[in-house]
């Protein structure tokens, strides 16, 4: 029996029974949903979803702000034997249409304005239902479905993440992936029933969704928040007396610059970071702003949820470390031949264990590139995620990030595909070619720069900028666009991305 086989998990919708029935589970506006009400609402929503989708195993998508329905969807779909596809509310119509088509979604739950954004892009087999109807179902008082009896390996969700070669790819997550991920985070963060978690990350992100799941696993309450400014977060912390807040580096920059009444900042006892590394100066500012809060820097990737965290007791002396493996994760640093590196020897981070996803939805080629057999040294065996990230391990077994092999741009906590930006830019019809890349930025982590070659020597700057605003979400918008008369190429005739990125600050070429 392998180490993974010694672990046990339950269907993810069983989280509705983890808290005391009369304890708060969800805080939205002035409405408090107890665990008993959560369980009943999930059952009713599950019954409705199953009827709308046509049968177990179908994919059902949700595309909305952090409404009550959006929060219940991961559990309701699972209870119905369906597969949930949460869609980032910041995406535009063309990107959402791709996700719906690629996943084969039979149902999309959204509002009228978002449905109109899809236009002719809505796949013919996908039915749209207004989110208001789903909310009415939750409150209907009708009889809902009982707890599910799903197997640990049954598929529960598909989370779409950007890929370096273009369109988003769907990461397949099982009930065990989600349950053990919730248990792991609740364990190392020491979440307790009296905690209140302010959920500001998008629910379409792995950790954004886990804010719900890990809190409910611990019997704690979650307060979802769609914020516009740092001030909105300050007010929400005060309103809900939030003890826990997860963010990404650009948000922390805004929060430490905001005005925090001492009594409001004192509510926060736990801060977690993902989506990019915290700088030592930012950590110092966070410690000064939130003196009672323990800081948990973390590293992860959607294909394996989360890999490492840095224990707060190490943050002051090792602020640049990624920490050590989270519970249920085995993290190995490997040479190209799969052997384990020595201390301080750089190698590829390989994630093994039950948090490893089931691969990419209907994409055997890309699955084979990232999901490979675990190194022989693994205690878990099976398939592992070979991250492509280079790290090193010190004598204390703390890990440090060295570099990333792929071309992904990590900006404002999002992984952005340069190819996806380039494809949209070329689709404008205003340019022949485009190259996108990231440059270091103190607030964003990386700022997107786009170099383009216009048609017939024309630089329609306003036209291209307007097209990108219309067809790309805000976090994918270039911070700078430069027009060139020609772009360097390598001996194979392909655009020389390295030379273009290195030369981007120079004057446009004639």
Instruction: Return the closest-CA partner of residue 63 out of 12, 114, 117, 2.
Output: 114
Same domain, 416 and 448: yes
Report if residue 197 sits inside a domain: no
Q: Which one-letter DSSP state was computed for residue 165?
A: T
Report if residue 255 sits inside a domain: no
Same domain, 417 and 498: yes
Same domain, 385 and 427: no
The enclosing domain of 418 has a CATH number of 3.30.300.30
Question: What is the reported pLDDT for 416?
Answer: 85
Instruction: Return the closest-CA partner of residue 51 out of 111, 140, 134, 174.
Output: 134
Sign of CA dihedral 48, 205, 211, 115: negative
Q: Point out which residues pair with 28 in neighbouring strands.
A: 31
The enclosing domain of 335 has a CATH number of 2.30.38.10
**How much is the pTM?**
0.86
Q: Point out which residues pair with 373 in neighbouring strands.
A: 383
Report if residue 497 sits inside a domain: yes
Angle, alpha carbons 308-169-383 (nearest 5°): 50
Q: Which helix (H) or strand (E) holds 44?
A: helix 35-53
Question: What is the reported pLDDT for 508?
Answer: 44
CA distance 244 to 269: 6
Name, in order, each residue with C-beta under 8 angstroms of 298's C-beta and a sequence gap of 6 or more: 207, 272, 273, 274, 306, 308, 309, 310, 323, 326
Name, in order, each residue with C-beta under 8 angstroms of 247's C-beta and a sequence gap of 6 or more: 200, 201, 255, 271, 272, 273, 413
- HEC string for 227-289: CCCHHHHHHHHHHHCCCEEEECHHHHHHHHHCCCCHHHHCCCCEEEECCCCCCHHHHHHHHHH
CA 297 to chain centre: 16
DSSP code per residue over 322-361: EEEEPTT-EEEEE-TTSPBPPTT--EEEEEESTTS---BT
Domain-terminating residue out of 342, 370, 405: 405
CA distance 371 to 152: 19
What's the CA dihedral at 314, 317, 320, 325 to 10 degrees?
-20
Instruction: Return the closest-CA partner of residue 426 out of 384, 468, 394.
Output: 468
The answer to whether the CB of 417 falls within 8 A of the CB of 439 is no
Question: What is the reported pLDDT for 491?
Answer: 56
End-to-end C-alpha distance for the chain, whole angstroms: 67
Q: At what angle do helices 68-79 and 35-53 cross, to 10 degrees?
A: 70
**Tokens found for residue 56:** 């177990």
CA distances 221 to 196, 240, 242, 307, Å, are 5, 10, 9, 25
Domain-terminating residue out of 385, 405, 425: 405
Domain-terminating residue out of 355, 371, 405: 405
Query: Is residue 110 helix, strand or coil?
Result: strand
Same domain, 365 and 428: no
Domain residues for the domain of 323 are: 319-405
Report if residue 220 sits inside a domain: no
Provide the residue-wise pLDDT of the chain in tens; the chain has 510 residues: 456 556 789 999 999 999 999 999 999 989 999 999 999 999 999 999 999 999 999 999 999 999 999 999 999 999 999 999 999 998 989 889 999 999 999 999 999 999 999 988 999 999 999 999 999 999 998 889 999 999 999 999 999 987 555 578 999 999 999 999 999 999 999 999 999 999 999 999 999 999 999 999 999 999 999 999 999 999 999 999 999 999 988 789 889 999 999 999 999 999 999 987 888 888 999 999 999 999 999 999 899 999 999 999 999 999 999 999 999 999 999 999 999 999 999 999 999 999 999 999 999 999 999 999 999 999 999 999 999 988 999 999 999 988 766 677 888 888 787 878 888 888 898 987 888 999 988 888 899 999 998 887 788 899 999 999 999 999 999 999 999 888 887 655 567 777 888 877 554 433
CA distances 48 to 27, 157, 299, Å, are 23, 18, 37
Report if residue 259 sits inside a domain: no
The answer to whether the CB of 97 falls within 8 A of the CB of 122 is yes
Same domain, 436 and 468: yes
CA distance 432 to 76: 46
**Structurally, how many domains does the chain consist of?**
2
């Amino acid at each position: 029996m392998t180490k993974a086989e010694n672990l046990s998990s339950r269907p993810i919708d069983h989280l509705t029974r983890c808290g005391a029935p009369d304890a708060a589970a969800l805080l939205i506006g002035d409405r408090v949903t107890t665990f008993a009400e959560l369980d009943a609402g999930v059952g009713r929503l599950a019954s409705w979803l199953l009827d709308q989708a046509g049968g177990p195993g179908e994919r059902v998508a949700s595309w909305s702000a952090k409404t009550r329905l959006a929060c219940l969807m991961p559990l309701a779909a699972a209870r119905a034997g369906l597969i949930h596809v949460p869609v980032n509310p910041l995406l535009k119509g063309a990107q959402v249409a791709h996700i719906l088509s690629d996943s084969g979604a039979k149902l999309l739950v959204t509002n009228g304005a978002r449905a109109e954004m899809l236009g002719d892009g809505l796949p013919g087999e996908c039915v749209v239902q207004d989110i208001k109807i789903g909310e009415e179902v939750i409150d209907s008082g009708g009889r809902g479905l009982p707890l599910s009896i799903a197997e640990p390996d049954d598929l529960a969700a598909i989370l779409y993440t950007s890929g370096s070669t273009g369109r988003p790819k769907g990461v397949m997550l099982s009930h065990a992936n989600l349950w053990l991920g919730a248990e792991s985070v609740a364990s190392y963060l020491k979440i307790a029933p009296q905690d209140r978690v302010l959920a500001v990350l998008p629910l379409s992100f792995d950790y954004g969704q886990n804010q719900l799941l890990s809190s409910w696993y611990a019997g704690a309450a979650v307060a979802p928040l769609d914020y516009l400014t740092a001030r909105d977060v300050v007010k929400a912390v005060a309103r809900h007396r939030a003890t826990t807040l997860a963010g990404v580096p650009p948000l922390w920059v805004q929060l430490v610059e905001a005005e925090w009444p001492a009594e409001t900042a004192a509510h926060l006892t736990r801060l977690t970071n993902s989506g990019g590394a915290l700088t030592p100066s930012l950590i110092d500012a966070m410690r000064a702003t939130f003196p009672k809060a323990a800081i948990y820097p973390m590293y992860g990737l959607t294909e394996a949820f989360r890999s490492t965290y840095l224990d707060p007791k190490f943050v002051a002396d090792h602020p640049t470390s990624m920490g050590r493996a989270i519970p249920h994760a085995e993290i190995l640093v490997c040479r190209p031949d799969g052997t384990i590196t020595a201390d301080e020897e750089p190698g590829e981070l390989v994630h093994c264990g039950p948090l490893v996803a089931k691969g990419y939805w209907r994409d055997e080629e890309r699955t084979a590139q990232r999901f490979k057999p675990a190194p022989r040294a693994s205690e878990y065996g099976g398939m592992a995620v070979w991250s492509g990230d280079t790290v090193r391990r010190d004598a204390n077994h703390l890990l440090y990030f060295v570099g990333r092999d792929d071309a992904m741009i990590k900006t404002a906590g999002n992984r952005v595909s340069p190819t996806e930006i380039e494809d949209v830019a070329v689709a404008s019809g205003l340019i022949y070619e485009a190259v996108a890349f990231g440059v270091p930025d103190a607030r964003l982590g990386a700022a997107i720069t786009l170099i383009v070659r216009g048609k017939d020597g024309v630089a329609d700057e306003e036209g291209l900028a307007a097209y990108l605003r219309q067809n790309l979400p805000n976090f994918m918008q270039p911070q700078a666009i430069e027009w060139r008369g020609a772009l360097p190429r390598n001996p194979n005739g392909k655009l020389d991305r390295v030379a273009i990125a290195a030369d981007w600050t120079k004057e446009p070429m004639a």
